[in-house]
A and B are shown apart, each in its own frame.
Chain A
Amino acid sequence: MTRCVVALAALLACRASAPAGPSSPSARPKVVEPSLASRPLPEASHRILPGPKAQVIAELTAASELAGYSCSADAQGDPSCQSDNNAPRFLVWLGDRDGTPSINLLVAARLPPQTTCDDISMALADQRIIHDVLTRCEGGEIGMAAGFAFPADGVELRELQRYRRVLETLLLYGLARVTNQLD
């Protein structure tokens, strides 16, 4: 996948501050449709192509569900996904930079008790498993984001999932280190 990291700092600031906990039933945003249950399973080589935003968002939502998340629409109408285990939250949304479309990924989690943003900055200082990732930590929460170019011939589903997985691993790596579970 051609990768083009976009300036996500401003987006991280607002996205990472989104509520992390489960919403009450009345406040829970509506599920993004169509969900995985109403779509045929794609092949791993399936390409997500540029198109109308609602259609692309539906495909990105289905991809997130295939990876094991349950997704709802956030305040901007983009997929905000969680699962019932200890995995980070995962958000995906479309963007552009200088007219170039992009797919942006964000994983976020609350910091463990008694740890600070400085702790996690130190824990991740020597990470070597991923490049071009922006990290933002404030208010007891850490987010890691990466942006991909969204070319006219689309993005392969498998590649999208692989990059999401690497982001998740990196975030868990940082959290494990600040809690001394990895040192």
Chain B
Amino acid sequence: MTIAPGPAKDVLARAVRAFELAGHRCTFDREGDAICDEKDQGTPTLVLSTLESGDKLGVSIASPRTPLPPGLSCAGIEALMTGARALVRDLHIECSDERIAIGGVIPIPDAGITVRDFNSSSRTIVALTSLVFLRLSARATSGDAR
């Protein structure tokens, strides 16, 4: 199966199937986004959705926007994440109004993307997002203030 450009709903459905074949378990919410919740497996809740920018299509895999842990600011998190960005490419952090979302976007090329290549990228995003949340959790637990 190749995930090829097409209607956003179809692209997301194929992406979610690929994601589930990598071991995730997802359901769709009312907005049509896929919610993959595996906190018991050391992975934060992840939301899969399609993104369109001009004529470019991508699948976003990101944690939902959640309140920052006590004592942490967006500036502090950006500083903390400097090292994490070096570990894995294409990390996206959205932090504003004391809320944060972390994840990445997998571009869908015109020729499509194979399940293997999609999951090679998704695995990287999931691993890094998990690391970031582990780090934030540790900071919140230790009461580190920034």
| Interface residues of chain B: helix, strand, loop or mixed (majority) | helix
Interface readout for B22-55 with A: 1 if CB under 8 Å, 0 if not?
Answer: 1111000000000000100111000000000000
Which of under 10, 10 to 19, 20 to 34, or 35 or more describes the interface residues of A?
A: 35 or more
Given contacts A68-B116, A173-B134, contact A42 B21 (CB under 8 A): yes
The interface of chain A, by Cβ under 8 A from chain B, is: 36, 41-42, 44, 65-70, 83-87, 129-130, 157-166, 168-170, 172-173, 176, 179-182
Give the distance to chain B from A43, nearest Cβ to Cβ, in Å: 8
- How many of chain B's residues touch chain A, expressed as a range? 35 or more
Q: Does B130 touch A at the CB level, under 8 Å?
A: yes
> Is B123 a contact partner of A165 (Cβ separation < 8 A)?
yes
- How far apart are the CA atoms of A169 and B128 in the complex, in Å? 8
* With A69-B120, A172-B127, A182-B138 already in contact, 17 other A-B pairs whose C-beta atoms are closer than 8 Å: A41-B115, A44-B20, A66-B119, A67-B21, A68-B117, A85-B88, A85-B120, A85-B121, A86-B87, A162-B23, A169-B42, A169-B130, A172-B131, A173-B131, A180-B83, A181-B83, A182-B84
Q: Assess the A129–B115 pair: CB atoms within 8 A.
A: no
**B contact residues vs A (CB 8 Å cutoff):** 1, 17-18, 20-25, 38, 41-43, 83-84, 86-89, 115-124, 126-128, 130-131, 134-135, 138
- 21 A-B contact pairs sorted by A residue (CB < 8 Å): A66-B21, A66-B22, A67-B21, A68-B118, A68-B120, A68-B123, A85-B120, A158-B21, A158-B23, A161-B21, A161-B23, A162-B23, A162-B41, A163-B23, A165-B22, A165-B41, A169-B43, A172-B131, A181-B84, A181-B86, A182-B138
Chain A residues with CB under 8 A of B43:
165-166, 169
Q: Which residues of A contact B134 (CB under 8 A)?
A: 129, 173, 182
Contact across chains for B20 and A87 when beta carbons are under 8 A apart:
no
A180 CA / B131 CA spacing, docked (Å): 13
